[in-house]
């Protein structure tokens, strides 16, 4: 397998853009990434397009990438549509990495885009609910709600899933709602420094806990917002990179796994992380900066543990020590994470790699991690219970 270089990255601001189409978002991100790499579209040999919900929201199925990227000069080469729940973007990068590492292509591009702003928010929530095993939905709902069924409310079913996991985590690790609020405070502080973040406001623990109750211990500011956006990553071989004036940021590992039923001895994220660390020849102690999937604030704490950043049960203490904030031992979610940067589902995995590439290039401005050389992105999606349906861990090195 060959080395794979991140030659260019680009992304749109994340937010609610009712007047922009999926095509416009994908086009902006793609053109920015190609310009960053200094490559014309004609050099791209493979395209992987990550999107999760456009078909359910608009009816545009089957050829979403061909439609979304029609104005980018990429049509004519193999274009593969990738749908893997919230891990669609990272799955597209994984496939692009495989295409280049295997020698099938010298240049590939992974694009993730999602358009979730919609007049009917309940339709968006219904679309999200399809990322679970529908045949087992009644059983899952019974474990969450009991015989009374789901309570009325205008929220994502996934927030009930996260709330249930958060309650279990609180019992297991003595974590508190204040700990979850501190995750939101940290990530909003980082997001305030990111001009592309959906929310750029600082918040306090008190503000988080006073925000609207969503489900169980979760409050509104602990939950990733709905939004729109696109992100793209150009990948190339060392030979192709030699023709370009770009820093040598390398994808040293990419591990994509699916969740499993029953066996909880090692979670999907733990399995993906172990594989990625082995591929890259690094360990969690070597990491300088991390982007992880904080779709709900409590998840950041247990993902610290699953990525090996701290011992089991030590997530809250790790956060409280300041280790995961800017200036700490291993800053986490310097972009603002999903909580502040936003979570346009299909774009999220690509946006994580955009952030980490910019960190390793030293061009992240006020949120720059000094001397960053090793970075990890963790992106997961869907739910099988108790695991996510998909988990991807990517290691980048300078």
pLDDT at 52 over 80: yes
What's the pLDDT tens digit per position in 304-322? 999 999 999 999 999 999 9
Q: Is residue 325 situated within a structural domain?
A: yes
Rounded Cα distance, 106 and 394, in Å: 20
Residue 114, token pair as written in the block: 């999602």
pLDDT at 151 over 80: no
E strand map for the chain: 4-11, 46-50, 79-82, 107-115, 213-215, 218-219, 228-236, 249-258, 289-291, 374-381, 390-397
Mean pLDDT of the 241-248 span? 92
What's the pLDDT tens digit per position in 288-303? 999 999 999 999 999 9
Q: Tell me the pLDDT band of 1, cut-offs 50, 70 and 90.
A: confident
Query: What pLDDT score was predicted for residue 99?
Result: 98
Query: What pLDDT score was predicted for residue 155?
Result: 67
pLDDT at 323 over 70: yes
- The tally of domains found in the chain comes to 1
Work out the angle at residue 155's Cα, subtended by the Cα atoms of residues 382 and 116, and round it to the nearest 5 degrees.
Answer: 65
pLDDT at 55 over 90: yes
Residue 214, token pair as written in the block: 């969503």
pLDDT at 368 over 80: yes
pLDDT at 149 over 70: no
In terms of residue numbers, what domain contains 20? 4-119+226-397
Q: Is residue 139 situated within a structural domain?
A: no
What's the pLDDT tens digit per position in 83-142? 999 999 999 999 999 999 999 999 999 999 999 999 998 899 999 989 999 888 888 777
343 given a catalytic annotation: yes
- φ/ψ (deg, to 5) at 186: -60, -50
The domain that holds 362 is classified in CATH as: 3.40.47.10
Q: Is residue 188 situated within a structural domain?
A: no
Query: What pLDDT score was predicted for residue 139?
Result: 80
- Lowest-confidence range among 321-330, 372-381, 383-392? 383-392
Single out the catalytic residue among 86, 236, 350, 392.
Answer: 86
Q: Is residue 111 situated within a structural domain?
A: yes
- What pTM was estimated for this model as a whole? 0.97
Query: What pLDDT score was predicted for residue 148?
Result: 58
Q: Is residue 288 situated within a structural domain?
A: yes
Mean pLDDT of the 266-292 span? 98
pLDDT at 76 over 80: yes
Q: Percentage of the chain with pLDDT > 70?
A: 97
Query: What pLDDT score was predicted for residue 258?
Result: 96
Query: What pLDDT score was predicted for residue 157?
Result: 82
Q: Is residue 250 situated within a structural domain?
A: yes
Query: What pLDDT score was predicted for residue 144?
Result: 78
- φ/ψ (deg, to 5) at 377: -110, 135
Q: Is residue 269 situated within a structural domain?
A: yes
Single out the catalytic residue among 94, 236, 343, 350.
Answer: 343
Mean pLDDT of the 193-197 span? 98
Q: Is residue 55 situated within a structural domain?
A: yes
Query: What pLDDT score was predicted for residue 154?
Result: 62
The neighbour count for residue 9, using CB atoms within 10 Å, is: 24
Query: What pLDDT score was predicted for residue 320?
Result: 98
Q: Bridge-partner residues for 289, per DSSP?
A: 375
More confident residue, 233 or 139: 233
Average pLDDT score, the chain: 95
118 given a catalytic annotation: no
Question: 76 Cβ partners below 8 Å, 6+ apart?
Answer: none
């Amino acid at each position: 397998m060959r080395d794979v270089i991140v030659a260019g990255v680009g992304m749109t601001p994340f937010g609610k853009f009712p007047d922009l189409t999926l095509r416009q978002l994908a086009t902006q991100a793609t053109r920015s990434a190609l310009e960053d790499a200094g490559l014309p579209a004609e050099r791209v040999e493979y395209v992987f397009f990550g999107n999760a919900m456009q078909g359910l929201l608009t009816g545009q199925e089957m050829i979403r990438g061909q439609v979304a990227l029609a104005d980018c000069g990429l049509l004519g080469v193999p274009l593969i549509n990738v749908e893997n729940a919230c891990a669609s973007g990272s799955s597209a990068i994984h496939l692009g990495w495989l295409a280049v590492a295997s020698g099938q292509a010298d240049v590939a591009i992974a694009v993730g885009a999602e358009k979730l702003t919609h007049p009917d928010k309940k339709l968006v929530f219904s679309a999200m609910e399809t990322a679970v095993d529908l045949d087992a939905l009644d059983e899952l709902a019974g474990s969450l709600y009991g015989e009374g069924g789901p309570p009325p409310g205008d929220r994502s079913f996934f927030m009930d899933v996260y709330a249930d996991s958060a309650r279990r985590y609180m019992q297991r690790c003595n974590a508190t709602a204040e700990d979850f609020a501190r995750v939101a405070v940290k990530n909003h502080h980082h997001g305030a420094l990111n001009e592309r973040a959906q929310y750029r406001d600082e918040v306090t623990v008190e503000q988080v806990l006073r925000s609207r109750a969503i489900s169980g211990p979760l409050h509104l500011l602990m939950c990733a917002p709905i939004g729109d956006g696109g992100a793209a990553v150009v990948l190339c071989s060392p030979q192709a990179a030699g023709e370009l004036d770009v820093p040598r940021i390398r994808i040293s590992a990419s591990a994509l796994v699916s969740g499993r039923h029953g066996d909880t001895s090692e979670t999907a994220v733990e399995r993906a992380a172990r594989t990625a660390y082995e591929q890259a020849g690094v360990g969690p102690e070597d990491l300088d900066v991390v982007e992880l999937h904080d779709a709900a604030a409590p998840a950041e704490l247990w993902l610290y543990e699953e990525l090996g950043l701290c011992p089991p049960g030590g997530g809250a203490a790790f956060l409280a020590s300041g280790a995961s904030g800017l200036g700490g031992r291993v800053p986490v979610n310097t972009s603002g994470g999903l909580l502040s940067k936003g979570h346009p589902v299909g774009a999220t995995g690509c946006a994580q790699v955009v952030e980490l590439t910019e960190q390793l290039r030293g061009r992240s401005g006020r949120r720059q991690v000094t001397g960053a050389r090793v970075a990890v992105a963790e992106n997961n999606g869907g739910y099988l219970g108790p695991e996510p349906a998909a988990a991807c861990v990517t290691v980048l090195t300078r």
